Structure 1
C-alpha cells in the first residue's frame, strides 16, 4: 500500500497550525501517511484578500500563485505533488484551492473560508454549518500536541513540584482579548478571586500559563489578582515563554480556560480532564463561536461559567471518546473516496 502524502499549509498562527496538525494526527489513526509542512505568508494581505476570491471564482489564478501572492520558496514544483492538501486559517485558503486545482488533488480546509464557497474544497470543516456543498460540521476541533514541547509528563511534573499527598492540582489557561471577549482590570480580578476561592474550598494548587494574546498589561493585572501562595508553577508569556500546555494538562485534576480561544478550549477538552470555560460577563462573541461553546457544553465536553457568578462546582471528566474523530474520518471518506486507497483497514484484508 502506498502512503498517503499530505501537504500541510501553515500560516504560522499556533491555533491554526494546531488544528491542521490535529487533523493529520486523526488521519494517521486510519491511514498510513507521510506529511510535509510548508509555512507560507500572504503578501499585501488586504489587497490579496480582496483580489484572490474573485480571481479564483473566474479561474484566473494560475500555477504562479505561490510566488505572486505568497512568500514561499517551495510552491509550484511538480516534485512536491501531494495526495492531499490540508490547511487551517483564512490566509492559507486561497493557496489551498489554487494548488488543489493545479495538482488535481483533494483538499481539506478548517475554518472560515475568507469569502470562498465551501465547494472550493473537497471538504470544508467548520463547527457551524455553512449551508453549502462540501461542508462537514465537526463535533470537536482536532488539535495536536506540540512536538517541540518538553516530553515531561504530568506525573514527572508533580514529582518535580513536590506536591504533597496527591494534593489537587488545577490548571488555569489564559488568553486575552479576542472572539468578542475583552479582559479588563475587573475581569482579571474576578479570575484571581476564582482561583483564591477554589484554593480555599478544594485545597488545590495551581498551574497558570498565559499566552501571546494576554499581553504584558494583562499579565501584570492577573499577577496582582492571584494569590502567589497557591501557585505551583506559572508561565508568564511576555516575560519568559515556555510551551507547557501538554505537561500542565496531563498533571491537572481540573482545567479552567478562558473563552476567547477555540484552540485552547479544544486542547483542554482533549485532555479528558474536567474542563470549565471562563466567560467575561460582557462578552459579545460571534454567533458561531457562541453556538460552538453551547454545543460543547451540551455534549458534556465542558462547563461554561460566567466570571463573577457563584463559584462553580467542578464538571465531570470531559465526556469524550473516539466518536468525534471516527465520525469525522468516515464523513471525509464519503466526501473524498480516494482516501480509502490508503486505509490501514483495507491493507490488512
Structure 2
C-alpha cells in the first residue's frame, strides 16, 4: 500500500510551502508514496508564543478555519504516514500530530526549529543553519520544487505567449520586505534604472556586445503595491518586457525554464535556491539590510561559483546546478527504512 504524505506550512508562506511540498514531490516521484496533500495552517494566540516542546503541542493551537483536517484525522484516528512541516510555528503542530498518532506518523521538519532535534524524527536544515544532530540532514540550500521536467514542460506551455520577448531573456524575481531586508519605493526606483541600463547595453560576450536582453519579471506576495507600480511603469517604458503582477496563473516555472539568466533579490533563500537549481547564471541583487545567516548562504554559493552579485552589468557563464533534492529524498528513505 502506498504511504501517505501531508505537506504543511504556515498560511501565506509560499517559500515554506515550496520546501515542504518539494520534499513530498521528490519522495512521490521515487515511488511508494501517494501524491502529497497540501495544507496551510494559521495559529491562535497564545500558541504563537508557546515554547517549542511537546508539552505545549496541540491541534487546538490552530485557527478554526485551518484546523478541520487535523480535527477530523484525530477523530477518525487516521493520520498520514509522513508529515512534512516547514516554518517554525508548524514545527509545534508536528509535535502535536506525533502525540495524537501515538508515534505512528513520521514527522520531518524542514528548517531549524530552534529546539531539541530529538523531538522530530528528522530535521532537514540548510548548511547555513546551526542545528546539528544524528537525525539532522544538511542541504546546500533551501528545498524546492524545481525539476528539469517541470522547467521544460512549463517553458513549452508558456513559450507561445512570450514569443515576442527577445532573446537572450533575463528572469527577474522580485521579493519584498522581511525582518532582515528592506525593499521600498526608493530602492525600486534605483533598481529599475539600473535594470534598464544593464539590459539595454547588450549582452557581454567574448566577441563584444550583442543583442539587448528581454525581461520576464515576477513579483512575490511580499512586494508592496507602490513598489509593484514603479516596476510596472519602468518595464512598460522598455522594449521586450513582460511582468507578472499576481494576476492570472503564475508563470514562475515557465520564466525559469525560458530564461537564459536569472536575477533575484537577496531577501529569499528559497528563490535563490530555486534559481540556482536551474543551472543557469544567477545574479543576486543586494537590498538594504543585513543578516549573518544570509551572508553565510551567499558566501557558500559564491564560493561554489553559483551566483554573482549584480553590479549593473550582465553576462552569461557556464554554471552548475545547486540541486540535492534527489540526494535528500534518498537519504530520507534510507534513514526511515523506506527505500
Coarse TM-score class (shorter-chain normalised): 0.7 to 0.9
SS of residue in 2 equivalent to 1:153: helix
- Counterpart of 1:80 in structure 2 is 78
1:63-212 mapped onto 2 (5 Å cutoff): 65-67=58-60, 69-71=62-64, 72-75=67-70, 76-103=74-101, 104=103, 105-113=105-113, 115-127=114-126, 128-144=129-145, 153-163=154-164, 167-200=167-200, 201-202=202-203, 203-212=212-221
Contact 1:275 1:315 in 2 (8 A): no
How far apart in 1 are the matches of 2:63 and 2:112? 19
> Per the alignment, do residues 81 and 228 of structure 1 end up closer, same or farther by CA in structure 2, a change over 3 Å counting?
same
SS of residue in 2 equivalent to 1:163: coil
What are the superposed Cα offsets for residues 225-279 of structure 1, whole Å, 9 maximum, x if unpaired? 4462234311223xx3641101111111111011111222222222222111111
> Per the alignment, do residues 245 and 320 of structure 1 end up closer, same or farther by CA in structure 2, a change over 3 Å counting?
same
- Counterpart of 1:283 in structure 2 is 289
Q: Give the superposed CA RMSD.
A: 2.9
Pairing 1:222–2:231 present: yes
Contact 1:277 1:303 in 2 (8 A): yes
- CA-CA distance at 1:330 after TM superposition: 4.2
Q: 1:270 aligns with which of 265, 277, 288?
A: 277
SS of residue in 2 equivalent to 1:289: helix
- Counterpart of 2:253 in structure 1 is 246
TM-score, normalising length: structure 1:
0.80
Structure 1 segments, 4+ long, off by >6 Å, are none
Q: Which moved more, 1:270-279 or 1:85-94?
A: 270-279
Pairing 1:255–2:262 present: yes
> Per the alignment, do residues 60 and 269 of structure 1 end up closer, same or farther by CA in structure 2, a change over 3 Å counting?
closer
Contact 2:232 2:243 in 1 (8 A): no
- CA-CA distance at 1:96 after TM superposition: 0.6
How far apart in 2 are the matches of 1:320 and 1:179? 29
TM-score, normalising length: structure 2:
0.82
